[in-house]
């Protein structure tokens, strides 16, 4: 027989201790301790957080301005590579020296640009069979991270159909439509299709015409995109210049507004916590004129200081190899390297992941001197130094504004699809100068700008492993006179 023992007997004298504890809790509830307020941040800490906030916010603000410029049109405009939201604009020719919408454009591929907004419903993209032609359709979110890159390297060149869906979309797609979930509801697809010179334009145009974008509700039906409206108040100035002109109230206010529909990435909590300490919280309105004077001063100074770090840091953003800046990972996807992300947004908005392409960049010659268009240079590759790629490579010239340099032969890049002359030993010399190096060398001539400084990009599409692991090293550019 089991005898039931009262609970009070089991705890015996401990009941008094429990009673005392209950009394203590009751008294704490009635007379809670005073919580000490956090001490005000020191000026140097506020200043540092403000600069971090500027670097963190720069890409999404630049993307939004670029979106405004690129979609402010009634109909697709191939000449400007602009189109209304959710419509393709296909470049029929390479950009020229008047093109400024995108910094450091290329003259290797014809672009196909599409700004998507899948806030309301998914957007279905159809891609025709390219017949083996190299292409890629990288998609970047509003933070400039590449989240998908259909194309020859990843998905092959056969016909395919996929739907871009928003971060919170729930629904069902047709069985033959693959889902690609975007981290932000707004983003940019910057398609690139291999184009082997002007004679290849017609072939590329045929592929471009097969690229279509249709809302899910209209998939499989006759569809005419809604007519857009031109907003004359939107500036057509280069987006990077527009951002540079913003004051702190406009810049950080715009950033806060953008984050209402473009949520931060899941690994952003540390920087979000720091920004919250000065009153900046993504998704919530930010009134600059209501911030503490200490914060207003720091954010105002962060505009100029942040810009200086971005514009001054691009040349040293990568590892220097024979005075080429080898900017490898992180690029295209950045994790929490917000400074790198801001640098790439400024210097090459829409950059691919390294597996699709790398862009060694040169600002100085073999002696470390800045390039001068009044001087003459050569880039000499031995047979073993020719850029190792599975697709193709090129060398592109840019003026001081990071745009193509106007020149008498309208040549902005030179590469393996051009009729260059190689030496008998398989080596190759490219002549980089303002004036012609002579008729016998013009096949290997990359014209420099008419005045001022310049910089250059090597472009390696679908680079081989040796280009990614550091085995291959581009030779230095040497000054002749």
pLDDT by 10-residue block (mean), the chain, 481 residues: 34 38 42 55 93 97 96 90 95 85 82 96 98 96 97 96 96 96 96 92 97 96 92 91 95 94 93 96 92 95 94 75 83 92 89 91 94 97 97 95 90 94 97 96 96 95 93 96 76
What pLDDT score was predicted for residue 13? Answer: 39
3-class SS of residue 450: coil
CA atoms within 13 A on the CB side of 449: 19
3-class SS of residue 285: coil
What pLDDT score was predicted for residue 311? Answer: 87
What pLDDT score was predicted for residue 377? Answer: 98
Exposed / middle / buried, residue 411 (Cβ in 10 Å: 0-12, 13-18, 19+): middle
Query: In this structure, what are the phi and psi dihedrals at residue 393, rounded to the nearest 5 degrees?
Result: -140, 160
Answer whether 434's CB lies under 8 Å from 447's CB: yes
Q: Which CATH superfamily is domain 73-218 in?
A: Domain of unknown function DUF1254 (2.60.40.1610)
Answer whether 125's CB lies under 8 Å from 159's CB: no
Number of Cβ within a 10 Å radius of residue 296: 16
Answer whether 362's CB lies under 8 Å from 477's CB: yes
What pLDDT score was predicted for residue 197? Answer: 84
| Tokens 């971005």 -> residue | 310
Q: What gap in Å lies between CA 125 and CA 216, rounded to an integer?
A: 10
What pLDDT score was predicted for residue 431? Answer: 98
In 277-422, alpha helices (H): 293-313, 338-348
- Angle at the Cα of 411 from the Cα atoms of 405 and 413, rounded to 5 degrees: 85
The model's pTM is 0.81
* Of 70, 100, 99, the residue nearest 87 (C-alpha): 70
Query: From the CA atom positions of the chain, what is the Rg in Å?
Result: 28
Taking phi over 0 as left and psi of -120 to 50 as alpha, with beta for the rest, 144 belongs to: left
Q: What gap in Å lies between CA 473 and CA 324, rounded to an integer?
A: 9
Considering the segment(s) 318-479 as one domain, its CATH architecture is Sandwich (2.60)
Give span(s): CATH 2.60.40.1610, the chain.
73-218
What pLDDT score was predicted for residue 23? Answer: 40
Give span(s): CATH 2.60.120.600, the chain.
318-479
* Of 230, 225, 281, the residue nearest 87 (C-alpha): 225
* Of 103, 63, 68, 270, the residue nearest 183 (C-alpha): 63
Q: What gap in Å lies between CA 71 and CA 87, rounded to an integer?
A: 9
What pLDDT score was predicted for residue 38? Answer: 63
**In terms of residues, how long is the chain?**
481
Answer whether 373's CB lies under 8 Å from 455's CB: no
Query: In this structure, what are the phi and psi dihedrals at residue 416, rounded to the nearest 5 degrees?
Result: -70, -10
Residues near 368 by Cβ (< 8 Å), separated by ≥ 6? 323
């Amino acid at each position: 027989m089991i005898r039931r023992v009262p609970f009070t007997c089991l705890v015996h004298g401990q009941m008094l201790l429990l009673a005392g504890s209950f009394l203590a809790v009751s008294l704490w509830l009635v007379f809670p301790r005073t919580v000490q307020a956090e001490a005000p941040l020191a000026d140097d800490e506020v200043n540092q957080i403000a600069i971090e906030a500027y670097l963190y916010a720069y890409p999404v603000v630049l993307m939004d301005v670029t979106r405004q410029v690129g979609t402010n049109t009634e109909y697709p405009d191939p000449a400007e590579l602009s189109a209304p939201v959710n419509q393709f604009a296909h470049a029929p020719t390479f950009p020229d020296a008047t093109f400024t919408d995108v910094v450091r454009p290329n003259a290797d591929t014809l672009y196909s640009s599409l700004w998507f907004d899948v806030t309301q419903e998914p957007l279905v993209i159809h891609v025709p069979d390219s017949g083996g032609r190299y292409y890629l359709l990288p998609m970047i979110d509003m933070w400039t991270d590449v989240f998908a890159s259909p194309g020859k390297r990843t998905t092959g060149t056969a016909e395919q159909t996929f739907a871009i869906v928003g971060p919170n979309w729930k629904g069902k797609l047709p069985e033959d439509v693959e889902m690609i979930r975007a981290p932000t509801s707004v983003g940019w697809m910057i398609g690139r299709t291999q184009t082997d010179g002007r004679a290849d334009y017609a072939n590329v145009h045929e592929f471009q015409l097969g690229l279509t974008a249709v809302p899910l509700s209209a998939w499989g039906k006759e569809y005419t995109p809604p007519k857009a409206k031109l907003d004359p108040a939107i500036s057509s100035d280069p987006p990077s210049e527009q951002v540079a002109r913003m004051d702190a109230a406009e810049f950080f206010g715009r950033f806060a507004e953008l984050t209402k529909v473009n949520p931060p990435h899941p690994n952003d909590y540390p920087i979000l916590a720091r920004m919250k300490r000065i009153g900046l919280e993504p998704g919530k309105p930010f009134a600059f004129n209501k911030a503490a004077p200490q914060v207003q001063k720091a954010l105002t100074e962060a505009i100029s200081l942040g810009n200086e770090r971005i514009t001054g840091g691009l040349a040293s953003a990568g590892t220097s190899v024979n005075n080429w800046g080898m900017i490898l990972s992180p690029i295209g996807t950045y994790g929490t390297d917000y400074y790198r992300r801001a640098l790439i947004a400024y210097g090459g908005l829409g950059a691919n992941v390294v597996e699709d392409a790398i862009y060694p960049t040169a600002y100085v010659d073999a002696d470390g001197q800045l390039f001068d268009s009044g001087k003459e240079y050569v880039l000499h590759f031995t047979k073993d130094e020719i850029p190792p790629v599975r697709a193709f490579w090129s060398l592109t010239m840019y003026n001081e504004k990071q745009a193509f340099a106007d020149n008498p032969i309208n040549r902005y890049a030179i590469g393996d699809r051009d009729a260059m002359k190689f030496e008998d030993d398989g080596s190759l010399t490219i002549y980089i100068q303002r004036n012609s190096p002579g008729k016998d060398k013009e096949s290997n001539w990359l014209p420099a700008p008419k005045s001022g400084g310049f910089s250059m990009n090597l472009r390696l599409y679908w680079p081989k492993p040796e280009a990614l692991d550091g085995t291959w090293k581009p030779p230095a550019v040497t000054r002749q006179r």
